[in-house]
Structure 1
Amino acid sequence: NFLIKSQCTGKVKQIFSLQEAQSSGVVCTIEPCLHEIEYGGICVSCGFHSEEIHEDQPEKLSCGVTAKNLKFNHEIAINLENKNKEQLLKQKKLLLVLDLDHTLLHTCLGRVEEPGTEELNIDRVTFTTKLRPHLEFFLNNLKDLYQMCVYTMGTHKYAEAIIKILDPNREYFGGRVFSKDDAPDQAVKSLKMIMPFDDTMAVILDDTYEVWPNCPNLILCERFVYFIQEPDPISAKFTRDNDVVLYFMSELLTRVHWKFYSEENADVKSILNTLKSEVLSDCKIAFSGIIPLDKEPKEDPLWKLAESFGATCQTQVNESTTHLIASVYGTKKTQYARRRQIPILHRAWLDLSTSCWHPLPEAPFTLENIGQLDMFALLPTSLKRRLSSTSPSPYKKLKTESGNDSLESQSDSDSESDFADLNSKE
């Protein structure tokens, strides 16, 4: 007996007789393995580990398949992606990739006994989770427009525990859950995990842009922070008491979907870029007491933020100025603005208008009114009634913030006028 080792991996196709082998010098023929599918780094066809395969092999891709450690070669991945795109187009849907922590909810370590929180136990460790206000409204509003999936930097066990709360009946995500355990690089996220070849139909909602480097598909969401010891009084009004970010994100994503299916050869990246540039396109903004005097104004993050949403920023206040962002009254700029009746606003107006992708009414953001800021009150009446009267939640403790459960739900036509109502507010 002797052992013959092939120089390539694959399946034995034909074994020759001893006489044939002696005359030709060929013992057998082998059909090389293409290593099309790997599970846990092992080829499902030939059983070799990827580290044992010395042939040049392109990187394997998961292509939206959530079975952990299951990877495909490029040809199969392209076919899977094309089938998913065909299904999305047939259903007139887009792909929505959702972050969990600080986007849809906030989780802290330990037990916190507060109304409206959920307790998790993962590997004998206790966590407490608070769902973001109006999350049910957000998911219900988008489920027919988007194929939704979760992509978190948390572990897979944590993600699955959260999904049991968010989607116990698999109505929204259908098991499409990705975590850092599934990613080749645990420091950043990549759409290649889900749609590796064509990202024209993919939208991302996340509170952290650093984990999506150079990704034009990203909508940066206002960070949701609930478990804090001493909250900033302004941010607390927004993130704890009456957070309405998910309403604005729902409206924005609805507009993205409508524009995509209204255009030929549409690409969500160009749609997002256009919508973003329109948010403050009518605004000419100056600053007082906001940007340090020893700093170049155009290099300040707030200046860049305003410009990225279409605003024209000015170093001086003049007759063309539409908004003055200030920290205190009494400066020459604020005195000029008062004489010209130019709105003098707290920087929260700019922060929150860009977070919501919509210019908010000015009156609640004046320096004298900012301490009484009530984001829920800024919403149009029709929307507040809709949010107050949504159908019973599948979540055990999720409630709207309005405190009024007796109002009847509004017709679909209300949603079309929500932005018009908001624009008409003082």
Structure 2
Amino acid sequence: MTTENIVGFVELPSATDKLYCWKVRDGSSVRVGETIGLISKNANESAADLIMSNVVVSAVKSHKRPKRRMRPGDTAVAASEETKTADSITTNSAAESASTSESKQDLCPLICRADGILRIGSPLSTTEGQNSAVVIGYIVKCLHPTVIEGLCAVCGKSMELPTSNNGAYSPEKIDGSVNMSRVTVAGLTVAISESEGQRMAEEDAERLRSQRKLSLVLDLDHTLVHATNDVRAQQYLHREDVRSLVLPIITVSGNGQEQTMPKNNLWIQQHFVKLRPHVKEFLEMALSLYEVGVYTAGTREYAEQITMMLARHLVGATRDQTDLEHLRYQVQSAESEYARHEAKSGGDIDQVNDADHADEVGNQAAETTEGKSRKRKRVTFTASKTDEKTDRVTAEKVTEMKQELEGAERLEVEAQEMRQKLFGSRVVSRTDVGDLGRDVKSLKRVFPCGGTMAVVVDDREDVWANAGEVTGATRKGEPPENLLLVRPYHWQNFVGYADVNNAAGFDLTRSENEGDDESDEQLLWTSDILKRLHTRFYDNISEDKDKTVADVLRSMRQEVLLGGSLVLSGLIPLHKQKVESNGPRPAVLRYAESLGAKVLPNVTSDTTHVVAAKDGTDKILAARQIPGCFVVKASWLMECVWTVKRRDEEKHLLGPSPRSNPANLPANDSDDDDDDYDDDLAAELENEMLNDD
């Protein structure tokens, strides 16, 4: 502790005084005029002796011998014993009072002289003229490490944090000296100091390294699920991967603020959610290697219900919350109907009245509302022939429904445990960070020091770039390097329906009315990337402790098209391909350069790929004269981005294949398969020629 942070000392009035006891603990927040301890003015008696004497007096007072049960002949003896006991108690009380009054006269309060945090003991160094013999503590300035709703969590001082007018992220200062940043935990946004954020980051890094895990932040909409509130989607609820949930309707006030309608009214809306293919395998992988969190553009309640829905999918529960409540209602109704039928069959009037009580109350209310009386039906206690012919609830059916309910509730408990194990309190929604704006996601809201051990999976990169956070080699206006971009998921059957929350990310490979079917493999691709990332990060981690996730991902991307030379045709105007060294680049140009390729303005003899929007341009005609130059669609480049691997060009060609493959490029995913295919084709041709002979 430096002397610069010390704002006062705790001293004894004189060298002969002794500290009797502290009234506050070490590290407590104290204020001027507060009694923080007691001083003994009796120099001949130490504080330890005073404490021991008080303990002895207290022990004598608290001890009391149990009374023996009186017998008829023990009246005189009992009276004598009571007299002796009373005299003894009187003597002890007098002695105790004298001792207490004497101690109180010798004790004086120790008053605090400054506001701050109390540290018990002598500091490492004292100021000039300070007598260290009488210094028993010192007070340091509170740095306000955490501010919650305008109050310091340590000293309780009221703090006013300045807010940005444009809603963008910016560090704030308290007293012009301490940098503060906002962080959101479990739906609560607090402000923490730079030193406190660094301490939290170091603790998280140490904990993750001990578990050999990394942090993973997941988006929900169009990344893991495709949600809509269109009622036409109800026809697909028979599928196991299509779920439903009910949310209150959100209205927007005149000042642009979102307001959630109360739950006790009928302003609710049903939503339909399609789970992305392979989401179960993806989450199971993430659970074993990563500490998973969620950052979504949806509301808090939407995020909670979607995470619970994913947990149900993991444990195999097919019933959502509304389905489970409906099953409970069915079981209750079946039990009531069975009890009513048994009571009628047995003639038990009391059971009949209990079973029909709810119906009678409902009928009376209906009669009162309509303003007219109805003739009540006569109650009979024998089953008629009509009742025997109808399907009634049997004991076996009630038991079967109860067992089904027990199984569903057991799975619901397992899903709740899985949800806590998978996501915990690491869920951030747009209503938690409303000050940032609707189209902004800040990594520092989850990780105050930038998340050096975190990776983000999202279908939109513009929301992360809008935060304006520049870390490492990231250019201003570009997304962070630890973001893994995925292809936006649009289920084919939901195309044309209104989306929930924000729009999906831009996709160069998709037409306006095109959707995904069950062959979507994006989550399998992302799982492979995350596995490779985890392996590379923890390889030789002891030798390179400063390694970050962004560094590992950067090296992985640079290896994809290392040595390749690309020409873009019809995707970016030439004047936009030349950008400033520190300015944001067009997305396609940034993708190509991040994968290790060199982007050329025109086709040369070194060109390996021409990525074009359409066929027939001058660049494409020139490229077909170069041996080994691929002319591919933009979908090839995007798949390389989504998989962090060189993809097979044959599936994305514009026109014929090149006459040879480039020798200076790494092998793509299908090179080995193509060799096997060529060998099989040659063998088939040879067999056909032999058969013809």
TM-score, length basis structure 2 = 0.46
Offset at residue 101 of structure 1 (A):
1.6
Which one is further off, 345-354 or 106-115?
106-115
**Residue 280 of structure 2 is aligned to residue 136 of structure 1:** yes
State how 1:12-411 maps to structure 2 within 5 Å. Answer: 13-14=34-35, 31-32=115-116, 34=142, 37-43=146-152, 49-51=158-160, 56=175, 58=178, 65-66=185-186, 68-69=188-189, 76-111=196-231, 112-113=233-234, 114=236, 115=239, 116-123=241-248, 124-167=268-311, 168=415, 169-170=418-419, 171-183=421-433, 185-187=435-437, 188-197=440-449, 199-213=451-465, 214=470, 215-226=480-491, 227-229=494-496, 234=510, 239-263=516-540, 264-265=544-545, 266-291=547-572, 295=575, 297-298=577-578, 301-339=587-625, 340=627, 342-367=629-654
Offset at residue 239 of structure 1 (A):
3.9
> Is the contact between residue 203 and residue 219 of structure 1 (CA under 8 Å) also seen in structure 2?
yes
Classify 1:50/1:88 alpha carbon distance in 2 versus 1 (closer, same or farther; 3 Å).
same
Q: Distance in 2 between matches of 1:133 and 1:209?
A: 22
Classify 1:68/1:302 alpha carbon distance in 2 versus 1 (closer, same or farther; 3 Å).
closer
1:320-377 CA-partner distances (Å, limit 9, x unpaired): 32222234444454444445353322221112222222221111112369xxxxxxxx
Letter in 2 for 1:105: V
Offset at residue 58 of structure 1 (A):
4.5
Match of 1:143, SS state, is helix
> Is the contact between residue 185 and residue 428 of structure 2 (CA under 8 Å) also seen in structure 1?
no
RMSD of aligned C-alpha atoms?
3.8
Q: Distance in 2 between matches of 1:336 and 1:307?
A: 22
Match of 1:144, SS state, is helix
Q: Distance in 1 between matches of 2:308 and 2:602?
A: 53
Q: Distance in 1 between matches of 2:114 and 2:616?
A: 86
Classify 1:328/1:84 alpha carbon distance in 2 versus 1 (closer, same or farther; 3 Å).
closer
Offset at residue 147 of structure 1 (A):
0.8
Offset at residue 284 of structure 1 (A):
2.1
Offset at residue 63 of structure 1 (A):
5.5
> Is the contact between residue 120 and residue 126 of structure 1 (CA under 8 Å) also seen in structure 2?
yes
1:291-312 CA-partner distances (Å, limit 9, x unpaired): 55x7555466434431232112
Letter in 2 for 1:201: M
Q: Distance in 2 between matches of 1:325 and 1:37?
A: 51
Q: Distance in 1 between matches of 2:158 and 2:287?
A: 40
> Is the contact between residue 227 and residue 272 of structure 2 (CA under 8 Å) also seen in structure 1?
yes
Q: Distance in 1 between matches of 2:607 and 2:148?
A: 61
In our comparison, the structure showing a higher alpha carbon Rg is 2
Match of 1:129, SS state, is strand
> Is the contact between residue 61 and residue 74 of structure 1 (CA under 8 Å) also seen in structure 2?
yes
Classify 1:157/1:307 alpha carbon distance in 2 versus 1 (closer, same or farther; 3 Å).
same
Offset at residue 164 of structure 1 (A):
0.7
Q: Distance in 1 between matches of 2:508 and 2:588?
A: 19
Offset at residue 165 of structure 1 (A):
0.7
Classify 1:343/1:67 alpha carbon distance in 2 versus 1 (closer, same or farther; 3 Å).
closer
Letter in 2 for 1:278: E
User: Which residue of structure 2 lines up, in the alignment, with residue 396 of structure 1?
Assistant: none
Letter in 1 for 2:639: L
* Structure richer in helix, relative to its length: 2
Letter in 1 for 2:495: I
Classify 1:253/1:337 alpha carbon distance in 2 versus 1 (closer, same or farther; 3 Å).
same
Q: Distance in 2 between matches of 1:336 and 1:44?
A: 68
> Is the contact between residue 490 and residue 515 of structure 2 (CA under 8 Å) also seen in structure 1?
no
Q: Distance in 2 between matches of 1:348 and 1:39?
A: 47
Q: Distance in 1 between matches of 2:612 and 2:446?
A: 44
Which one is further off, 259-268 or 299-308?
299-308
Classify 1:31/1:342 alpha carbon distance in 2 versus 1 (closer, same or farther; 3 Å).
closer
Offset at residue 149 of structure 1 (A):
0.7
Match of 1:182, SS state, is coil
Offset at residue 121 of structure 1 (A):
0.9
Classify 1:72/1:306 alpha carbon distance in 2 versus 1 (closer, same or farther; 3 Å).
closer
Q: Distance in 2 between matches of 1:44 and 1:332?
A: 66
1:14-37 CA-partner distances (Å, limit 9, x unpaired): 299xxxxxxxxx997565474555
Q: Distance in 1 between matches of 2:36 and 2:288?
A: 56
Partner residue of 1:424 out of 672, 675, 680 = 672
1:215-272 CA-partner distances (Å, limit 9, x unpaired): 3332232222333229998467774452212222111122221121114121112212
1:205-224 CA-partner distances (Å, limit 9, x unpaired): 22222222343332232222
> Is the contact between residue 300 and residue 429 of structure 2 (CA under 8 Å) also seen in structure 1?
yes
Which one is further off, 296-305 or 84-93?
296-305
Letter in 2 for 1:209: E
Match of 2:222, SS state, is coil
Which one is further off, 63-72 or 187-196?
63-72
> Is the contact between residue 13 and residue 30 of structure 1 (CA under 8 Å) also seen in structure 2?
no
> Is the contact between residue 443 and residue 450 of structure 2 (CA under 8 Å) also seen in structure 1?
no
Structure 1: which 5+ runs fail to align?
Answer: 1-8, 17-25, 370-418
Q: Distance in 2 between matches of 1:289 and 1:43?
A: 56
Match of 2:34, SS state, is strand
Classify 1:256/1:80 alpha carbon distance in 2 versus 1 (closer, same or farther; 3 Å).
same
Q: Distance in 2 between matches of 1:28 and 1:336?
A: 85
Q: Distance in 1 between matches of 2:285 and 2:632?
A: 33
> Is the contact between residue 300 and residue 428 of structure 2 (CA under 8 Å) also seen in structure 1?
yes
Q: Distance in 1 between matches of 2:603 and 2:307?
A: 50
> Is the contact between residue 13 and residue 31 of structure 1 (CA under 8 Å) also seen in structure 2?
no
Q: Distance in 2 between matches of 1:238 and 1:204?
A: 24
Q: Distance in 2 between matches of 1:175 and 1:191?
A: 16
> Is the contact between residue 640 and residue 646 of structure 2 (CA under 8 Å) also seen in structure 1?
yes
User: Which residue of structure 1 lines up, in the alignment, with residue 356 of structure 2?
Assistant: none
